[in-house]
Amino acid sequence: MAVPDRDLAEFRSTVGDWCRANVPKDWRRAQAGAPEEQFVAFQKAWFQELRQVGWAVPHWPAEWGGGMSVAEQIVLYQELAANDAPRLVLAFVAIHHAASTLLVAGTDEQRRCHLPAILDGELWVQGFSEPDAGSDLASLRTTGRREGDVFVVNGQKLWSSGAAHADWCLLLVRTDPGAPKREGISYFLMDMRTPGIDVRPIRNANGESHFCEMFLDDVVIPVSGLVGPEHGGWRVAQETLSAERGMTMLELSERLGRAGFTWLLEACRVRGPSGDRLLDDPVVADRLAAFEIEVAGLRSLCRRVVERHEAGASAPAEASIAKLLYSELLQRVMDFATEVVGLEAHTQLTKPLSSGWESGAWMLDYIGSYEWTIPGGTSEIQRTIIGERGLGLPREPAAR
């Protein structure tokens, strides 16, 4: 249902006024290099601030605390970005991946158990990738053996962002080793307090440790933790991955356009020791103009993707196009920013932990931008999806 322009204008004003009154003024300084416990406490408190006004999970159905139209969500994300509100980094998997999976494929009991808990602060991690099953996720080797009313799971997961703080895990397990790759996988909800789970943080290139690996040693998961049919987890996993290529791309594109690009312009307006501005250099101005056009196109594309999805008219591969465009544009913008800002960009060694990939700490943002060309399907995988499903090209031959 279309929302009248006058109502959207009123809503925009409401969100803007609320942000100016409630976004912590010094959150960037406080979160730059903050200890993990301080980051976690801040994230949970900010989530509850948004929950109180009904803006923490706008994409959820109304009965679970959401119910906003796509038009309203666009306005909300635009205003949060424009007013430099912190991102819900820690709750990302819970409110997007876990929620979308439960709403589409979970049982009534699983939804009743976990959706209210997520609103109360329950944190989730995604246990999909493995050392030899990243882009080729169907090659996963973590096994689940059924013994009566439980499954006994053994294996290793890698690149599980936020696992050190998670309460629950979305877990893919091979439960039928004799079946074709995609037909022998089951999908589970795993309590992270279960004995046999060993979480080890991995320090990445910009000094953060949100990546983790998980070792599972005879971990017992009850049959009630199965999502969808046994051995039918591959289809359920596609619902999880689609969350990363849908509404989340809308939020990220708005932040890149409303915050990241704005800060880049401001950096180029600053006068250097000689009194000149980078913005006065015609080469720099030309690059900025080109980026502005691309960012505008990305934002428009992401809005169209979510609008078409809500209308039940999604086109094949359009979500992959949005994800590919965002991730590679983010990388190029941050590369350019690091180049033109110069030495100053290389001397900033911390960034606000509750920011996105456009924090203004240009070198760290550039390093972090490489994350987005890998998770949720690498750029190579996205191009394959676009070619085969979007353009109808022949499938790539299987490797021999």
Query: Catalytic residues, which ones?
Result: 244
Residue-by-residue DSSP string for 303-368: HHHHHHHHTT-PPTTHHHHHHHHHHHHHHHHHHHHHHHHTHHHHH----BTTS-S-SS-HHHHHHH
User: Structure tokens of 112?
Assistant: 């009743």
Q: What distance in Å separates the CA atoms of residue 298 and residue 231, rounded to the nearest whole number?
A: 37
User: Structure tokens of 79?
Assistant: 């205003």
Helix, strand, or coil (residue 144): strand
Q: Percent helix, strand and coil across the chain, each rounded to 5?
A: 55, 15, 30
Do 18 and 64 form a contact (C-beta atoms < 8 A)? no
Q: What distance in Å separates the CA atoms of residue 255 and residue 77, rounded to the nearest whole number?
A: 8
Q: What distance in Å separates the CA atoms of residue 374 and residue 400, rounded to the nearest whole number?
A: 24
Q: What angle do CA 245, 350, 83 make, to 5 degrees?
A: 55
| Main-chain dihedrals φ then ψ at residue 196, nearest 5 degrees | 100, 0
